Amino acid sequence: MPGIVIVGAQWGDEGKGKATDQLGDRVDYCVRYSGGNNAGHTIHVGDQKYVMHLLPSGILNPGVTPVLGNGVVIDLDVLYTELDELAERGAEVSHPLISSNAHVITEFHRTLDKVTERFLGKAKIGTTGRGVGPAYADKVNRVGIRIQDLFDESILRRKVEASLEQKNHLLVKVYNRRAIEPDEIADHLLSFVDRLRPHVADTSRVVNDALDQDKVVLFEGAQAHHLDVDHGTYPYVTSSNPIAAGACVGAGVGPTRIDRVIGIAKAYTTRVGSGPFPTELFDEDGDKLREIGAEFGATTGRPRRCGWFDALVVESAAKANGFTDVFLTKLDCLTGWDKIPVCVAYEVNGVRHDVMPYSQTDFHHATPVYEFLDGWTEDISGCRTFDELPANTQAYVKRLEELIGCRISGIGVGPGREQSILVHDLL
């Protein structure tokens, strides 16, 4: 049985939660392997809307064991707020597993994230201010606090003190902020110990044992390929590796355990925060896409930047991640346009690029070359098979397949759990 990775093919917010949820009743484990609560998954079940920032989307399926892997950075306040809110709404949430090696986001990480971003001024990255970047920085600098540290109070207090010894100098002398008391941080973290203990495990072994037992394991990445710290549009990226290969590191499994890689792409393109975006729209079409698609961040509420589908961006992700399938979301949002532009190349200083340029400078100056496809006016939200789609809609999907070099196996035609078309089985 397969190990399946779900990866965003653009700059995040593609609808990975919907795609993950679609597979949920056929999946035994849903493993989040990167990022923190700087991500947001929105899932519609009937008339209910669920927004999760840290928990894997599969938590809404009672038969699925949700896992937060070692590659995730965890804000315990957010974790238990989400769990409590879901429980209040009647969801069964007593079963998540948390890696003992996952790192913890503290109040001083959140503070540093916010003051650093303000200090950068016009050069700001566009972070969510959730402390994710500083927590990953501590991890790489080997001064991070891990989940397992909370179960040894003396170690925890020593780590907090050592970490704040340097950070307090920075806060006070550079950013003119008050120093943070180590005991405040340690005491707050220790308050979670009793609730946390039953959920902590060697999740790498749990997941590998599940695969050995022919269980279906879904690895869910946060953000997307082009926000990857190594492969994205650096420096306007996240602080982790949401690419498919990141699942191996962030969940503790070998590459031979991955059987399918499903890329999630919107039928158009959005981006939050700073950074280059060749097909971005600044006109009525951009406003219309934002309104129809409800393009506001699930975590921050920030309006998303909107633009037409960029085939070079998705093709690049498909190549680097080894997509076996693509799930195309929000196709219904394109209903009503007479012609729909699709970016098929860039022009940079008079030179045509048919693939995404490796140079950030070239990408920043890229002008999209568009191919105009016929639009449709029919309501497609009730379609449940590919053949039910209007001819022009089918042609749009088929042309995208040609441009990105990967088959489109699933299509989202509305926000509801049931509003999907499966062209090919994803399992």
Q: Which residues make up each annotated binding site for Mg(2+)?
A: 13, 40
Q: Which of 207, 252, 202 is nearest to 64 (CA)?
A: 207
41 carries an active-site annotation: yes
Binding residues for substrate: 298-304
53 is an active site residue: no
Q: Beta 339-348 vs 309-310: how paired, if at all?
A: parallel
Residues facing 201 on adjacent strands: 99
Q: Helices (DSSP H) in 141-179: which residue ranges? A: 153-173
The percent helix, strand, coil of the chain (3-state, each to 5) is: 40, 20, 40
Instruction: Write out the H or E segment, with its range, that includes residue 182.
Output: helix 182-190
Give the integer Cα–Cα distance in Å for 83 and 291. 30
Cβ-contact 30, 20 below 8 angstroms:
yes
Which of 21, 28, 41, 149 is the catalytic position?
41
Please say whether the beta carbons of 306 and 280 come within 8 A.
yes
Q: Which amino acid is at 97?
A: L
Alpha-carbon distances of 15 from 129, 177, 345, rounded to whole Å: 22, 38, 25
Catalytic residue among 13, 149, 228, 310: 13
Q: Which residues are annotated as a binding site for GTP?
A: 12-18, 40-42, 304, 330-332, 412-414
- Who contacts 327 (Cβ-Cβ below 8 Å, separation ≥6)? 15, 19, 22, 262, 263, 264, 265, 408, 409, 410, 411, 412, 426
> Coil, strand or helix: which one is 80?
helix
Closest CA to 249 of 285, 207, 278, 286: 207
Paired tokens of 173? 């002398």
Residues annotated catalytic, as ranges: 13, 41
